[in-house]
Structure 1
Amino acid sequence: MVSAAVLFLLTVGSVCGKATAERKLVYVTVLFRHGDRSPVKAYPTDPYQESAWPQGFGQLSQEGMRQHFELGRFLRDRYKGFLKESYDRHEISVRSTDFDRTLMSAEANLAGLYPPSGQQVFNPDLKWQPIPVHTVPQSKERLLSFPLNDCPRYQQLMNETEHTEEFLNVTVAYQDVIDLVRNKTGLKKTSVDSVWNVYDTLFCESRHNMSAPDWVTPDVMEMLRVLKDFEFRIIFGVYKRQEKSRLQGGILLGEIVKNLTKMATPDPEQRLKMMMLSAHDTTVAALQSSLDVFNGRQPPYASCQIFELYRDNGSASVSMFFRNDSTVAPYPLQLPGCPLDCPLEEFVRITKLSISDDRDKECELPSKGRDKEVIVSLVVSGCLLFLLITLLLGIICWQKEPVGNRGYQHVINQEAGEES
């Protein structure tokens, strides 16, 4: 009896061990927000204008550098045995938006991920090595910077969002704090979707031990935080979330899905193992909203969205994780309608609803499109009608004119031509 039980346990253990061994991590995409920074701007009455910040507005702070160095070390530990200990340019590709804070965040992250060793040490006193970070000019950025403002249909959706019941209710509920911000900051106009910039400035100043004005009480800060989070929901959801996703975050999601699909097919010559993307809070929110996993809160500094692609006995699956707190392990994210370990074909099928096949066409305003078709039809119809009327008048005139007169006139014309 004991021998049979032992044999059973050994069999189960062997099967489980085999199954575990066959499930293999083959590709990872990480998207993160930059680290702690100075405010992007100050409000008119702010006592801390740009000169109060060592590098000016919108710049990565020393704390932001530490946050990303720590995130890089976390990625080193998580993918130990998957990524080589030393930097290999074929294994990782890094892209950033063209902002100082995102470029520097990527560099600090890579310093933690790939501390130099052996032949990669070029200065014994410097535990760092240069690793390329690619970017494109901000004017041409269409993958990592959201919301994009090149889409008339999206602007129409945003206008419609401001007339929804939820938006109007929030406006009424927080009208007092909206008015307070306008009166105290010197801003000429404030609204639900603009006061969050004031919160961002106050938040940055508080993190850097700068005293807040007397009117900025804890209650005011909490109300501004609520409005700030609501703004993120407005931009990518609240109203027609999926259509907004197709015009915004779905662009990035489509690129990620395309890469996952490509990497799922075994290719001995394919050496890329990680795609690293350095961007912004709105980028993370846009992507998560397109996946319908956004929690409605502004992604914190150095937060990191992870996609892991696994192969198992010829099939592939995708697991997602979100790291928004350095003190705890990343928590799993479940794509609605799919298990945590989501089969790739299901992942592709579900996310397809948030990915546009022709964004330019979808960005056209529906009414303008119909008006254009009507105008073209009227012009074509008008031209045909004009030609038909001209032809009919010509035939009528020709039939009414006497034959002799027609011939006589022709002779006169000839003679006139010869005389001239």
Structure 2
Amino acid sequence: MAGRQLGWRRADLLQLLLGVNLLVMPLTQARSLRFVTLVYRHGDRSPVNTYPKDPYQEDKWPQGFGQLTKEGMLQHWELGHALRQRYHGFLNASYHRQEPIPVHTVPVAEEKLLKFPLGPCPRYEQLQNETRQTPEYQNESVQNTQFLDMVANETGLTDLTLETVWNVYDTLFCEQTHGLILPAWASPQTMQRLRRLKDFSFRFLFGIYEQAEKARLQGGVLLAQIRKNLTLMATASQLPKLLAYSAHDTTLVALQMALDVYNGEQAPYASCHIFELYQDDNGNFSVEMYFRNESNKVPWPLILPGCPHRCPLQDFLRLTEPVVPKDWEQECRLASSPADTEVIVALAVCGSILFLLIVLLLTVLFRMQAQPPGYRHIADGEDHA
């Protein structure tokens, strides 16, 4: 009996090892990998900014604020190394000049795909105002009033809210990561609470209330491009084997909120969301998603709600269709209220009346100018002497 139990354990271990190998190398004989899309966060960086009372200002950071550190560079190297191993046999092992790697960038002011939240979008701002009225947001606000007052007093910030306190956590986190001594008020308990509020601010941006519509105005924009790329590769193979989007934590949160696979926590440095397109021997295509959020572990499988992990492409497109905008600019506009409609009708009536008056006035002036100079109409019977 004991030997039989040991045998089962060995079998389970073997199955586990096989499963891990499949995650590391997802290629199989029955199907082929055709296309990969990566969306990854930048690596470790210095703080984007700081607070007035912070003893560590920009001169404490060798490259200034918001710049990649040596640790961040190493994280990118590790990500590249892991991807090279994962796609061995799919990508060339050595450089070929016939396969260059183009890098595309756009000015920040023109970025409409990777920097979230996207704006200006009046409807999204309206949704955010409505989110602030939800019980969850109101309860969070009440429970953290005194805490936010304390943080504001210690930092010197005058406009600290549930939506902006993440900046304080980000600064303290960067300083702590790089061995700088935090002020006494930034205790482990305070840091834990700040981290929770930071995660809440992400959910505020893309969820809590009307998540599907928020997705259409935010993460659904990037998802639309990814869907388009998958479709092109499945029909015409007009793209490179691999596309990589370098982005931010908010990019990954917005995308994963749209896919409804977000785990509620900030995406760590150099984390990577992976889309893989496979073709079966029968010609059918399927999509698999993975998330690499820990450098010492293989990427975690992500499952789109309503579909198995190996999701048929047509099902993937069908299930994600509701969160993809048809016309982003049109959907960003505010719907007219009944009062607005009445004003528009009133203005239209007034405009029509004014137009008719102008036409009448012009008609009278035209007739007056059309009469010859010196002409005077003489009635019948008038004396001509």
Q: In the aligned structure 2, how far is the partner of 1:168 from the partner of 1:336?
A: 29
User: What secondary structure is seen at the aligned counterpart in 2 of 1:32?
Assistant: strand
TM-score normalised according to structure 2 size: 0.82
User: Does residue 331 in structure 1 map to residue 297 in structure 2?
Assistant: no
User: Does residue 211 in structure 1 map to residue 181 in structure 2?
Assistant: yes
Q: In the aligned structure 2, how far is the partner of 1:198 from the partner of 1:357?
A: 37
User: Does residue 136 in structure 1 map to residue 106 in structure 2?
Assistant: yes
Q: In the aligned structure 1, how far is the partner of 2:114 from the partner of 2:359?
A: 60
Change (3 A) 1:376 1:263: same
Q: 2:63 aligns with which of 33, 36, 55?
A: 55
Q: What amino acid maps onto 2:287 in structure 1?
A: V
Name 2:289's counterpart in structure 1.
320
Q: 1:75 aligns with which of 79, 83, 87?
A: 83
Q: 1:411 aligns with which of 374, 377, 381?
A: 377
Q: 1:181 aligns with which of 137, 142, 151?
A: 151
Percent identical residues: 54
User: Does residue 30 in structure 1 map to residue 17 in structure 2?
Assistant: no
Kept in 2: contact 1:83–1:91 (CA 8 A): no
Q: What amino acid maps onto 1:378 in structure 2?
A: A
CA deviation profile, 1:24-46 (whole Å, cap 9, x unmatched): 10000001000000000010000
Aligned-pair CA distance for 1:90 = 6.8
Q: 2:263 aligns with which of 295, 313, 323?
A: 295
**1:192-341 equivalences in 2 (<5 Å):** 192-265=162-235, 267=237, 270=238, 272-312=240-280, 313-341=282-310
Q: 1:66 aligns with which of 60, 74, 93?
A: 74
CA deviation profile, 1:315-351 (whole Å, cap 9, x unmatched): 1110000000001110000001111011111111111
Aligned-pair CA distance for 1:376 = 4.3
User: What secondary structure is seen at the aligned counterpart in 1 of 2:35?
Assistant: strand
Q: In the aligned structure 1, how far is the partner of 2:175 from the partner of 2:55?
A: 10
Aligned-pair CA distance for 1:273 = 0.3
Q: What amino acid maps onto 1:29 in structure 2?
A: T
5+ residue gaps in structure 1?
1-18, 93-130, 393-408, 414-420
Change (3 A) 1:266 1:151: closer
5+ residue gaps in structure 2?
1-26, 361-374, 380-385
Q: In the aligned structure 1, how far is the partner of 2:145 from the partner of 2:80?
A: 43
Name 2:94's counterpart in structure 1.
86
User: Does residue 343 in structure 1 map to residue 312 in structure 2?
Assistant: yes
Kept in 1: contact 2:37–2:242 (CA 8 A): yes
Aligned-pair CA distance for 1:384 = 5.1
CA deviation profile, 1:174-216 (whole Å, cap 9, x unmatched): 2222111011000012111111100000000000000000111
Kept in 2: contact 1:27–1:308 (CA 8 A): yes
User: What secondary structure is seen at the aligned counterpart in 2 of 1:182?
Assistant: helix
Q: In the aligned structure 1, how far is the partner of 2:94 from the partner of 2:359?
A: 83
Name 2:8's counterpart in structure 1.
none
Q: In the aligned structure 2, how far is the partner of 1:308 from the partner of 1:374?
A: 52
Answer with 173-182 or 195-204: which moved more.
Answer: 173-182
Kept in 2: contact 1:152–1:363 (CA 8 A): yes
Kept in 2: contact 1:40–1:57 (CA 8 A): yes
Aligned-pair CA distance for 1:411 = 1.1
Kept in 2: contact 1:177–1:223 (CA 8 A): no
Kept in 2: contact 1:91–1:272 (CA 8 A): no
Q: 1:44 aligns with which of 39, 52, 56?
A: 52
Kept in 2: contact 1:91–1:273 (CA 8 A): no
User: What secondary structure is seen at the aligned counterpart in 1 of 2:377?
Assistant: helix
Aligned-pair CA distance for 1:388 = 8.3
Name 1:157's counterpart in structure 2.
127
User: What secondary structure is seen at the aligned counterpart in 2 of 1:310?
Assistant: strand
CA deviation profile, 1:36-90 (whole Å, cap 9, x unmatched): 0000001000000000000000000000000000100000000000011123577
Name 1:396's counterpart in structure 2.
none
Q: In the aligned structure 2, how far is the partner of 1:46 from the partner of 1:291?
A: 38
Name 2:349's counterpart in structure 1.
381
Q: What amino acid maps onto 2:310 in structure 1?
A: D
User: What secondary structure is seen at the aligned counterpart in 2 of 1:307?
Assistant: strand
Aligned-pair CA distance for 1:380 = 3.7
Change (3 A) 1:245 1:90: farther
Q: In the aligned structure 2, how far is the partner of 1:411 from the partner of 1:231?
A: 84
The RMSD of aligned alpha carbons is 2.4
Q: In the aligned structure 2, how far is the partner of 1:371 from the partner of 1:67?
A: 55
Q: In the aligned structure 1, how far is the partner of 2:29 from the partner of 2:220?
A: 34
User: Does residue 167 in structure 1 map to residue 133 in structure 2?
Assistant: no
CA deviation profile, 1:236-278 (whole Å, cap 9, x unmatched): 11111111111111110000000001101254xx461000111
Q: What amino acid maps onto 1:326 in structure 2?
A: S
Q: In the aligned structure 2, how far is the partner of 1:334 from the partner of 1:390?
A: 66
User: What secondary structure is seen at the aligned counterpart in 1 of 2:212?
Assistant: helix
Change (3 A) 1:64 1:391: closer
